[in-house]
Amino acid sequence: MTSPHPLRAMDITVGYRDAVLRNLSVAIPEGSFTAIIGPNGCGKSTLLRALARLLKPESGEIFLKGKPIGTYASREVARSLGLLPQSSVAPEGITVAELVARGRYPYQTFLRRWSRQDEVAVADAMAATGVEHLALERVDRLSGGQRQRTWIAMVLAQQTEILLLDEPTTYLDITHQVELLDLCRHLNREGRTLVAVLHDLNLACRYATHVIALRDGAILAEGPPTEIVTADLVRDVFGLSAVIIEDPISGGPLVVPDQKAI
Amino acid sequence: MNSSASMRRDNCRYEVDATALDGPAHRVIRCGPFSFKVETHTAIAALLLAIALVAVATLALAGGAFPLRVGDIVSALLGVGDERAQLVVIEWRLPRVLGAVLIGMALGVSGAIFQSLTRNPLGSPDVIGFSAGSYTGALIVLLHLGGGYWLTAGGAVAGGFGAAALVYALAWRGGVDGFRMILIGIGVSALLGAFNMWMIRQASLQAALGAAFWGAGSLNGLGFDQLRFAALAFAVLLPASAYLAQAMRQMELGDDVARATGVPVMRMRFALTFVGVALTAAATAFAGPIAFIALVAPQVARRMTATASVSILTSALCGGLLLLVADLAVQRAFGNQLPVGVMTVVIGGFYFIWLLVRETRP
């Protein structure tokens, strides 16, 4: 059974000590590259973590392919849904190939530790992200862009239909941001559903096919960037006065901030 | 046959350099639905450690007041040959050698588990208070409940778990951060140490002497009776830790990645903590608190294998070897007068200082 929304949240209230999101419902369209945007502290990462079942909602339910996510075994979820968290730790001295291989954990058992499929998946993931020539390098000696591609390769090795990326472009310079988002777009066009928390509104408009705009834990708008990103929305979401012009490259919206914040 | 990269026997395959991408650093064995990846460095290190272990064990069985040749030892172990040699080897020396190896292994694995859980080479059960807790438990039994071997052992196990529960409770803040746990563990360890001293001060001279000797950590008086029980405990705990090792490695990538790749993090952390504490507590129950083996062994093993993670197998072998060497050195240098725990403190103390300097360097 395929549903047009492989991942959805129904009426969830979720947070840490206090609820960050209250009675929020959202559905991720199948095959979309969804960007979650909004100001700092609006609950973007909380939403992503809830969708990835890293945070358990106090109320409400997350549905993965039509079934409550809690009814799946945790390895089963990990075979459908991959996550690149905001912060991750690479053990000192681990190589790129070893780190990518750890993405195969949901397929491995005590007696099945390195199957032919594991090997192929890891090789494919490294090829897709262009890190195969770094296979034997230590992750702690890579540049920021290479390291982020390695982590994405680890998530890709999980071979999931859905990828969740929490601020994948943070700490990267503009060239590497574009390079990484090009990679994301490529992965999306190959058939994966992508959900990414993005900070840069213009990059989100350029790459995403679906945008979810959050403010104070509530969704203000969602839809294709060409339809929803307007001067009004930017003011409502970010409290920023801006002019929207046509992006000369993509033809989509380009947000140009006005002189002063309101 | 030897020149081919892969050998086929029925459905089983032994493959060398399965993919160039993964580098020449491992071998793969596949057989039907089963598959294993053997890291070359780890295999070599394990082999070297095992050879060293056998060599030192032989040395320990051969030497002493009644020197024997290797041939005598082998025939004594096989139950043939000179009866006096059999008595010396099997009844006198073998329990001590086996005890050193088993207890050292348990400590090495326990250290590997907690260093992995805390993601810090300082996070070892003897540093974060679990050994001190075991000693407290044993002391309460020795001084206030009349002692007795098994009761003391039980007290050590209960004390180890008590200390672990205390450290976790104090370090808990919606989750356990490795570094906070280490700092709190060092504090708890110091407090328990003071409490242990106070208990010994309150006791009668004779009880205090017994408690203090036990507290230094010694393999004296380890016989087959206790060994059988130790072997049983470790026969359950060591395979359990090998089973949990996969999840343990995954958790080294951070809780979020571990959970996202399908590790039930809370459950696994509890299971690993349970096994790790049980290993330290059992080792302490049999030989008293032997310091620093748990701290040193996994790191020596890690440097030998040049891998990112500490491996359970090499940590175990390294722990066994270290304790056996320390015990042998103490016996040869000081007779049976000095407990091996004093020796490991000396070895470990220098390592600890070096580690502290290295870890706290900005």
pLDDT in tens, A147-189: 999 999 999 999 999 999 999 998 889 999 999 999 999 999 9
The verdict on a CB contact (< 8 Å) between A113 and B243 is no
How large is the average pLDDT for residues B60-77? 87
- Confidence tier at B108 by pLDDT (50, 70, 90): very high
Contacts with A111 from chain B: Cβ below 8 Å: 33-36
Q: What pLDDT, on the 0 to 100 scale, is given for residue B346?
A: 85
- Please report whether residue A1 resides in a domain: no
- Confidence tier at B9 by pLDDT (50, 70, 90): low
Q: B303 to chain A: nearest residue by CA?
A: A93
Nearest CB to A54 within list B119, B259, B306:
B259
C-alpha distance across the termini of chain A, in Å: 48
- Enumerate helices (H) and strands (E) in chain B, giving the number of each: 14, 4
pLDDT tens for B208-246 read 888 887 788 888 878 888 888 889 989 999 999 999 999
pLDDT tens for A196-240 read 999 999 999 999 999 999 999 999 999 999 999 999 999 999 999
Distance from CA of A206 to the nearest CA of B (A): 28
Domain CATH code at residue A18: 3.40.50.300
Measured CA to CA, the distance from residue B248 to residue A256 in angstroms comes to 48
Inter-axis angle of helices B94-118 and B40-62, to 10 degrees?
150
Q: Is B359 a residue whose pLDDT tops 80?
A: no
Tell me the average pLDDT of chain B: 87
Residue B213 in tokens:
């000797």
Whether the CB-CB separation of B151 and B145 falls below 8 Å is answered with yes
Q: How many CB atoms lie within 10 A of CB A53?
A: 20
Contacts with B37 from chain A: Cβ below 8 Å: 113-114
How large is the average pLDDT for residues A75-97? 91
How large is the average pLDDT for residues B288-317? 89
Q: Is B20 a residue whose pLDDT tops 50?
A: no
For residue A192, the enclosing domain spans 7-257
Question: b/e per residue, B260-288, with b = 16+ CB within 10 A?
Answer: bbbbebeebbebbbbbbbbbbbbbbbbbb
Measured CA to CA, the distance from residue A88 to residue A103 in angstroms comes to 13
The verdict on a CB contact (< 8 Å) between A90 and B253 is yes
Q: What pLDDT, on the 0 to 100 scale, is given for residue B245?
A: 95
Residues paired with residue A138 on neighbouring β-strands, in sequence order: A95
Contacts with B256 from chain A: Cβ below 8 Å: 49, 54, 83, 85, 87-88
Q: Is B21 a residue whose pLDDT tops 60?
A: no
Measured CA to CA, the distance from residue A37 to residue A58 in angstroms comes to 23
How large is the average pLDDT for residues B113-122? 92
For residue A200, give the H/E element and its range: none
Q: Is B7 a residue whose pLDDT tops 70?
A: no
Q: Is B4 a residue whose pLDDT tops 50?
A: no
Contacts with A154 from chain B: Cβ below 8 Å: 257
- Confidence tier at B356 by pLDDT (50, 70, 90): confident
Q: A117 to chain B: nearest residue by CA?
A: B35
ipTM > 0.90?
Answer: yes
Q: How many domains does chain A have?
A: 1
The verdict on a CB contact (< 8 Å) between B249 and A89 is no
Domains of chain B, by residue range, sit at 1-32, 97-360
Could you tell me which residues of chain B have a Cβ less than 8 Å from any Cβ in chain A?
Answer: 18-19, 21-23, 25, 28, 30, 33-37, 119, 174, 243, 246, 249-250, 252-254, 256-257, 259-264, 306-309
The closest of B305, B335, B332, B333 to B318, measured between CA atoms, is B305
pLDDT tens for A100-142 read 999 999 999 999 888 889 999 999 999 999 999 999 899 999 9
Query: DSSP for B240-289?
Result: HHHHHHHHHHHHTT-HHHHHHTT--HHHHHHHHHHHHHHHHHHHHHHH--
The closest of A106, A103, A107, A126 to A117, measured between CA atoms, is A107
Domain B97-360 belongs to what topology?
Answer: ABC transporter involved in vitamin B12 uptake, BtuC (1.10.3470)
Whether the CB-CB separation of B341 and B216 falls below 8 Å is answered with yes
Distance from CA of A104 to the nearest CA of B (A): 8
The verdict on a CB contact (< 8 Å) between A135 and B246 is no
Q: How many CB atoms lie within 10 A of CB A189?
A: 12
- Beta strands at A81-84 and A242-246: parallel, antiparallel or unpaired: unpaired
A99 Cβ contact partners less than 8 Å away, ≥ 6 residues apart: A90, A139, A150, A151, A154, B253
Nearest CB to A97 within list B23, B119, B262:
B23
- Please report whether residue A262 resides in a domain: no
The verdict on a CB contact (< 8 Å) between A74 and B263 is yes
The verdict on a CB contact (< 8 Å) between B21 and A126 is yes
Nearest CB to B36 within list A73, A113, A126:
A113
Greatest mean pLDDT among A31-35, B203-207, B325-329 lies in: A31-35
Q: Report the sign of the C-alpha dihedral through residues A40, A16, A76, A51, in that order.
A: negative
- Confidence tier at B5 by pLDDT (50, 70, 90): very low
Q: What pLDDT, on the 0 to 100 scale, is given for residue B335?
A: 77
